[in-house]
Structure 1
Amino acid sequence: MPLRYVDPHRRRGSRYQQGVRFGRSRVGQFIARHIARRTDPMLFRLTGGRVNMGPIVNAPLRTVGAKSGKPREVQLTYFHDGHDVILVASNFGGSTHPQWYYNLKAHPECDFGREPFTAEQVTDPGEYSRLYQLAERVYEGYADYRDKTADSGRQIPIFRLKPR
């Protein structure tokens, strides 16, 4: 099954907004970090990506470990910019980048949602700002994450995945 297209410009309904509000709450963040990250990969495999634990679409990113060289997999929220997939390395607003960031930097060839891509980090300030605004349209919690990282000085990286 092809990767589900996520249009950041699409208007989302009240049910989606309720799910986002819950996802931004303390309980929602706990569930996202400790439960959904384990159940969403299973749901993706069992349903071919049609069912997620919450309202926000996600898919598995398969990379090669930066240090180990072993296969790694993590479930991530995404959206599309044309044909490209956009990933935000927010790490829930933590002071360090997520491990998959280092994996993509070391090995940009990856699979996302069972499709092959090549990753490149977005470094142009104007493009970064535009994509981050789109990310906030998909999930308003990215604004929270940016606020959390402000004290540490960490800029949340954005990756563009280009189909191979």
Structure 2
Amino acid sequence: MPLRYVDPHKKRGRIYEANVRFGRSRPGQSLARHLAPRVDPWLHRATAGRMNMGLVINAPLKTTGAKSGQPRVVQLTYFHDGRDPILMASNYGGAKHPQWYYNLKAHAECEFGGESFVATEVTDADEYRRLYALAEHVYAGYRDYRAKTAPVGRQIPLFRLNPR
């Protein structure tokens, strides 16, 4: 199944906005952290990527473990900038980067949604601001995550996936 295109400029409807409000709530965040990571991989496989528990489209990221060298898989939300998928290492606004961040830093070659990519971290400040603004169009909860990480001095990393 090809990776679905997620347009950050797309106008979203009322149902989507209601789902975003729920997703930003305490129960919605709990569901996203504890249940969705277990159910979404199964739903993604069973429905060829058409369904998930989350509010936005997600896909499996396959990386190589930074320390172990073993294959690792995590289901992530994303959006596109042109033809390139963009990943946000938000970790739900936690104080630390998610483990997959370290995996991509150590081994940039990855597979996302069944396609091969090379991940590059976005380091240019202007490009970072532009992409983060696009991410907030896709899911307004990224504003919450930025507010949570600011007091601990963590900037949420962004990765651009370039086709191999």
TM-score by length of 2: 0.99
Output aligned runs, 1:112-123, within 5 Å: 112-123=112-123
Deviation at 1:103, TM superposition (A): 0.2
List per-residue Cα deviations over 1:25-70 (Å, max 9, x = no partner): 0000000000001100000111110111133111110000000000
Give 1:5's aligned residue. 5
Once residues 17 and 56 of structure 1 are traced to their aligned partners in structure 2, the CA distance between those partners, rounded to angstroms, is 11
- Name the CA distance, whole Å, in 1 between partners of 2:54 and 2:114: 20
Asked if 1:135 corresponds to 2:125, the answer is: no
Which letter does structure 2 place at the counterpart of 1:101?
A: Y
Alignment of 1:4-153 (within 5 A): 4-153=4-153
CA distance in 2, matches of 1:128, 1:77: 17
Q: Are 2:79 and 2:138, in contact at CA under 8 Å, matched by a contact in 1? A: yes
- The letter for the 2-side match of 1:49 is G
Per-residue CA deviation, residues 107-136 of structure 1 (Å, 9 max, x unaligned), is: 000000111110000000000000000000
Question: Which sections of structure 2, spanning at least 5 residues, go unmatched?
Answer: none
Distance (whole Å) between structure 2 residues aligned to residue 16 and residue 68 of structure 1: 39
One-letter identity of the residue aligned with 1:62: K
Deviation for aligned residue 1:21: 0.6
Q: Give the Cα separation in 2 of the matches to 1:52 and 1:163.
A: 24
* TM-score normalized by the length of structure 1: 0.99
Mapped to 2, the partners of 1:37 and 1:16 lie a distance apart of: 20
Which whole-Å CA distance do the structure 2 matches of 1:55 and 1:142 have between them? Answer: 13
Q: What is the distance in 2 between the residues matched to 1:160 and 1:117?
A: 9
Counterpart CA distance in 1 for 2:64 and 2:45 is 20
The letter for the 1-side match of 2:45 is R
Distance in 1, Cα, partners of 2:54 & 2:46: 16
